[in-house]
Structures are given as structure tokens and as C-alpha cells.
Amino acid sequence: MIIAVFPGQGSQTPGFLAPWLEIDGSRERLDAYSEQAGVDLVAAGTEWDADRIRDTKVAQPLIVAAGLLSWAALGALSPARPQGVAGHSVGELTALAAAGVLSEADALRLVGVRGRAMADAAAAVRTGMSAVVGGVEQAVLERLEALELTPANFNGGGQIVAAGELDALAALAAEPPRGSRVVALQVAGAFHTRHMISAVETLRAAAAEVAAADPQPTLWTNSDGSTVSDGRTALDLLVAQVASPVRWDLCMASFLDHGVTGIIEFAPAGALVGLAKRGLRGIPAVAVKTPDDLAAAAALLTGGDA
């Protein structure tokens, strides 16, 4: 089974969309996404600097749009499609669109709502997120609890993302758990924690107004790594996920249980392939960062050479 995976917030970099706009029809598609999400995604993905695209209400639509552009580009190149899909955090919206649960238009409208609501929630208290890489998991969790930080992402491969107030994150970086290192993430809030409860309610109201079909390929949820066959359930889980931990570690364990034979990460790619190298050792993986990577992704789907 080849599984398509879609990254979350923090994976964006300045100018990363520029090569994708060289594909026929991509600019027109991105213009439509911009209108649906309420963000100028062409400018954001080609001109704006790192600080500007770090803004939650910009970053989230930008990441979903990039994933859908690269997904469509692979579909135009190869008739073969991944048999499974999963997204990390906001990447779950991309995954639901790729799986046919949501239309692309609804996915972009919802990510616009999600980004704005989470930005508003983050503005109430100065918070952020940092990855803790390495160390003994129990010791890491105890250190986070002592600092009143939340383990917001269990990413597998020895990585846990801590979320909470900036002073506490600074203390964590100054004295990391033994054998670990702390890396600040390019996000502007403590996502997947109690700080996001208000955003859940806003997104739930918006999600109630869209249609949700059952997924066509196998679809995983971040809530507990299980597969979801009902579209409305998948959307409800995605909404609740805004204020609860991302269990990517359990998703990867479930990939193995389902006989994964390859991973394709869509733009802006790299982070999830990096986790797969540690959590899914020996499984071939392709990061589709630019259109030049599409041939390798198509080859993985068909069992050929890139």
C-alpha cells in the first residue's frame, strides 16, 4: 500500500510555491483557492517573507493549497493513485479533500476559518511550540508537566512537540530533558491544546454547513491513528483535533499494520518523510518538494524507476 501524507503548519518556507506555478493551470487554481480561503496565496507562496507566512491565518491555507496543487499535478502525470491518505494537523484537511470527503472548495473555506479562529485564540496568550527530539519519553513528559507545557504532537521517531506559554518553552530550551534537544517551531500559537478550545467551536459551526462524503482510499485520523470510513465522522474528528494532541506516532504504527510499502509526502514536503525515516525504517519514501520530484513519486506508485 502506497500512502499519501500531507504536512502541517511550520513546513512552509518563503517562495516555495513559485515552481508549482509554472505548471499549466496552477495559477488559476491557486487564484480560486485564494478567493475561497480569503488569503492571497499567490503572493504568500512566492513573495512574502518567513514572518509573514508564519501568521497562522496565512500559513494554514498556504499549506493546504500547496498540498492540493501537488496532489493534482501527480494525478495529471500518473493514472495510479495512492491507496491510503493521512494528514498531520492542518494537513488532515488536505487529506480529506484528497480522499473525496470534502470538495477542494470546502476544504479551502474551512482552512480559512480554521486559520483565522486559531490565530484569534493564539492572540489571547503569547504561546508557541517546540519539538523535543530524543531523550527518554517518560522523562520528556515529566519535564513538560513540571513546566505546565502540553505534549501537543506525538510524532514518533523520538520526537514530541511541546506547546504552551513562551516563558515555559524558553525554560525547556534552557534545560532540556537529558539526551534531548529542543527546536522552536515556526508556528504562532499552542495548537492542539486547551488554548485552542474557542477555535474548535468556530470550526465546528462552519463544518456543520458542508457536505461530507465517505472516503475513497483508506483514511487515517490523527486522534488515535485509526482508519475512518465515514466522512462525517472524519470531519468531526478533524474539528476536535484542533484542541487535542496529534498522534502521528499511532498513525505510522497503523500504516505498518496495513502493510505500507511506500510513502509520498506532498508539498511543502520533507517533515513527514523525515519522521518516516525513523518511525518506518526501510519503507521507501518520496518528498514532493517541487515538480521535479513528481517523476520519483509516479515511479514509486507504479513500481518503476524514477
Q: Residues with catalytic annotation?
A: 89, 192
Q: What is the 8-class DSSP label of residue 194?
A: G
Instruction: Quickly list H helices, 147-247.
Output: 166-174, 197-207, 231-241
Query: Which residues 6+ apart lie within 8 Å of 274 measured at CB?
Result: none
**Which CB contacts under 8 angstroms, 24+ apart, belong to 228-237?**
231/96, 231/101, 234/96, 234/99, 234/101, 235/96, 235/101, 235/102, 235/207, 235/210, 236/207
Q: In this structure, what C-alpha cell is assigned to residue 52?
A: 509573514
Question: If we measure between CA atoms, which residue out of 51, 207, 195, 41 comes closest to residue 122?
Answer: 195
Query: Which residues 6+ apart lie within 8 Å of 213 measured at CB?
Result: 100, 101, 102, 231
Residue with cell 513546513: 11
Q: In this structure, what C-alpha cell is assigned to residue 12?
A: 512552509
How far is 66 from 64, CA to CA, in rounded Å? 5
